Amino acid sequence: MKVAVIQFPGSNCDRDTLYVLKNTANIEPALVWHNDLKHESYDAAILPGGFSFGDHLRAGIIAAQSPATDIVRKMAEDGKPVLGICNGFQILIEASLLPGSLLRNSGLKFVCKWTNLELESNQTAFTCAFEKKARIRMPIAHNEGRYFAEDASLDRLREEGLVVLTYLGENPTGTSRGITAISNKEGNVVGMMPHPERASDIALGGTDGLRVFESMVEWARC
């Protein structure tokens, strides 16, 4: 399975993600500069964390205009797995590949800490290796990760099973209804604020994040 880790100016979690993928069975990862992405070359795409284009104007908005994002959109339409992590989630939101908004944290400060999460859906390309309602531990590190949508939209997300992860216990960023990851209706596109690549080695503090990437392989087999 060939996976593109898309590198934008300002990406800073790209090589971490690449490292984890290289150590995940049956994945051939490549670090791909955003202007060099070719749709036909890869089976999946990951938009990593960081500060694409320095977060100028608004986090993720400039990267959402990159030609690479048009190719990611086509990959998503073709049913290929697409994961946006932190800044990658912001890009997917700005590109209208996922609904809602990501606002500044309620405390107006950058939050970097390990968090406890509950899996709400294992029907996605990046959670199908988990048991539903699994309790997961992964870190967050962001300033603009407060997921927001109108109540009617939040109700619809829940009814359609598109809420993927919620905070368990403390809600450190004030995100609406504790939501910290969502998917599209088909389940092949997922955006999440927690960093699975930072929870994929026991030396880093935990391995729950590794199953996010293992899920992608399992999804591809189905």
Residue 86 is among the residues annotated as catalytic for this protein: yes
Which of 86, 94, 142, 214 is the catalytic position?
86
Selecting among 94, 120, 197, 214, the annotated active-site residue is: 197
Residue 195 annotated as catalytic: yes
Q: Is 34 a catalytic residue?
A: no
DSSP the chain: -EEEEEE-TTB-SHHHHHHHHHTSTT-EEEEEEGGG--GGG-SEEEE-SB-GGGG-SSTTTTGGGSHHHHHHHHHHHTT--EEEETHHHHHHHHTTSS-SEEEPPTTSS-EEEEEEEEE----STTTTTSPTT-EEEEEEEESS-EEE--HHHHHHHHHTT-EEEEESS--TT--GGGEEEEE-TTSSEEEESS-GGGGSBGGGTB-TTHHHHHHHHHHHH-
Q: Which of 94, 144, 195, 214 is catalytic?
A: 195
Catalytic (active-site) positions: 86, 195, 197
